[in-house]
Amino acid sequence: MVTSTGTSAPRTARAIARSELTSAILTSARAQVAEVGPAALSVRAVARDLGMASSAVYRYFPSRDELLTALLVLCYDELGERAEIADAGRPRDDFSGRWAALAHATRGWALEHPHDFALLFGSPVPGYAAPGTTVQPATRTTRLVVILLRDIEEAGAAPAALGPVSAAEHESLAGLRQFAGAPLSDDLVLRGLRAWSGLIGTLTLELFGHFANAIVDLDSYFEAMTRQLSPA
């Protein structure tokens, strides 16, 4: 609430207590997901962990699905904020540098929160359908990729096309062009898709141990992959 002087009104003790308890519930739920996986997330188990009656936790999150949704939003926003800060720290015309900053920020967050990364990009949770409230947080990082593509296009800095795109392939990209909100060449859209899917795929293989005995220096490998995947 804003007062007539334009300053924010002080938060009430009840609002502070509610915020702190909500944070505690989400922290407990996050730890539970790391231990047993999102499919086994339980509001009652969170209540036991916090020493609360389950009915009290249900007043904040009436179902497992609502608690899972809140976790998704929390994690997507954390990742998005990390990527946005990294992107903002690079000159706007340093397209390769912006991509590298975004990629390394995403990897940094993923390495710090591997179970959260698995929640966002791993197998769907059986019986759970993410509601529309997750869309905006979920697209914070990918929107940075789209903005980067638009800036590359507007600067006339797109690399030479890799090859012709068929009519069917062009139509298949309609949703992504609409998401971009600006004209983008099919080749640049495909480069952006390759960059993002390659980034998430590389991180998935790294975090789930699929590079064991194959890649000796994961940092150097990631650096090389980031360069190879750059849409600029």
What letter represents residue 229's amino acid? L
DSSP for 66-107 reads: HHHHHHHHHHHHHHHHHHHHHHHTS-TT-HHHHHHHHHHHHH
| Mean pLDDT, range 7-31, rounded to an integer | 82
Task: Name all domains of the chain by residue range, CATH numbers in brackets.
Answer: 1-62 (1.10.10), 72-229 (1.10.357.10)
Closest CA to 131 of 184, 73, 191, 176: 73
Instruction: Check: pTM over 0.85? Answer yes or no.
Output: yes
pLDDT over 70, % of the chain: 94
Note the pLDDT of residue 132: 96
Angle between helices 114-121 and 13-36 (to 10 degrees): 80
pLDDT tens sequence across 192-220: 999 999 999 999 999 999 999 999 999 99
**DSSP secondary-structure letter at 87?**
H
Note the pLDDT of residue 227: 97
- Where residue 15 falls among pLDDT bands split at 50, 70, 90? confident
Q: What is the mean pLDDT of the chain?
A: 93
